[in-house]
Structure 1
Amino acid sequence: MVTLIIGKKGSGKTKKLIQLANEAVAKSSGNVVVIEKGAGLTYDVTHKARLIDTDVYGVKGYEMLLGFISGICAGNYDVTDIFVDSTFKIAPQGVEGIEEFITKLDALSKESEAHITLLVSAAEADLPSGLKAVCEEI
C-alpha cells in the first residue's frame, strides 16, 4: 500500500512523518526505513528505524528512487514500512511522472508487503486525479 501525505511547504508533513515512523517502529515486528534528502531527521526519528540519506547514494529522480526502494525491499525481507521525506527534492521533476512512479511503487509495495509513505509538497488539486485515492492532506 502506498500513501501520499500532501500539503504545501510548512504544513507539518515532516512532523507527521516523524510521528508515523516512530509509531511504526513501536508496532512493527520487522524493519522501518526512513529515506530523506540530507541528514535532517537524525535526532527526530528513533534510532531503531533505518535512516538513509539519498545524497550519500546519489539518488535523483523517480527511476533511481524506485530502484533504490526496490533494493531495500530485496535486501531486507522483513521491511514493514518505508517513509520517504521530501519526495520532490529527491525527484525534482515533481508532478511530471509521479503517477507512473506511484503505480510502480504500489506494485512493489504489494509484492514486498511493505507499506510505503511519501511526503509530497503539493496540494491535491496539483496532482493527477488518479492519485487522489492514496492522498492524505495535511
Structure 2
Amino acid sequence: MMVSLVCGRQGVGKTRKMVDLANEDIKLCNGDVVFIDADNRQTLQINYKVRFVNAMDFNIKNIDMFHGFLRGIISNNYDIEKIYIDRLLSIIELSENEILDIIGELEKIGNKYNVDFVLSISRDKLEIPEELHQYVIFS
C-alpha cells in the first residue's frame, strides 16, 4: 500500500487538492474513503459518501495516540481503502524525524490493512527531509 504527501506553504491549495482527490476516489474506489482534518471547515466540500472525522474531537496528544486513533478507525471498518489526513501538523506536533517515523508506521499499517494514506503538511518540499521527497505527489 502507499503513503503520499501533499506539501506546501499555507494557502497554496493543499486542502482543496485533498478534497478533490477524496471526492474523486469515492467514485473510483471499491472500498470506503475517510477524510481526517483538524476542524470541520471542509464538511460541506466533501462528498457525503466520504467519512469525515475531526481529529481534534479525540484529544490526540502524541504519536502513539495518533497511531491508535488510526487503527481504531480501520478496525471499525475493514472496507476502508483510503485515508486522507489533512493538516497533519495541526493535529499533532511533529519534529522532522517524527514525520519520518509516522510515514514508516503508516506504511506498515497500510500494508497490513490494505489502506492507502494521503497526508498534507504545511512545509515546502525543500523543507522536508530528502527521504520524504519520494512520497510527494503535490507541492
Q: Any unmatched runs of 5+ in structure 1?
A: none
Residues 15-34 of structure 1 correspond to what in structure 2 (within 5 A)?
A: 15-34=16-35
Which segment drifts farther, 1-10 or 122-131? 122-131
* Pairs aligned (count): 138
1:43 and 2:79 are equivalent in the alignment: no
Residues 94-105 of structure 1 correspond to what in structure 2 (within 5 A)?
A: 94-105=95-106
Q: Partner residue of 2:136?
A: 135
Cα distance between partner residues in 2 of 1:120 and 1:32: 19
C-alpha RMSD of matched pairs (Å): 1.3
**SS of equivalent to 2:53:** strand
Question: TM-score, normalising length from structure 2?
Answer: 0.93
Q: Is the 8 A contact 1:124 1:137 kept in 2?
A: no
Cα distance between partner residues in 1 of 2:67 and 2:122: 19
Amino acid at match of 1:50: R
Cα distance between partner residues in 1 of 2:23 and 2:62: 27
Q: Partner residue of 1:66?
A: 67
Cα distance between partner residues in 1 of 2:123 and 2:62: 17
Question: TM-score, normalising length from structure 1?
Answer: 0.94
Q: Is the 8 A contact 1:37 1:86 kept in 2?
A: yes
After TM superposition, give the deviation of residue 126 of structure 1 in Å: 1.3
**SS of equivalent to 2:96:** coil
1:89 and 2:90 are equivalent in the alignment: yes
Q: Any unmatched runs of 5+ in structure 2?
A: none
Q: Percentage identity across aligned positions?
A: 28
After TM superposition, give the deviation of residue 30 of structure 1 in Å: 1.4
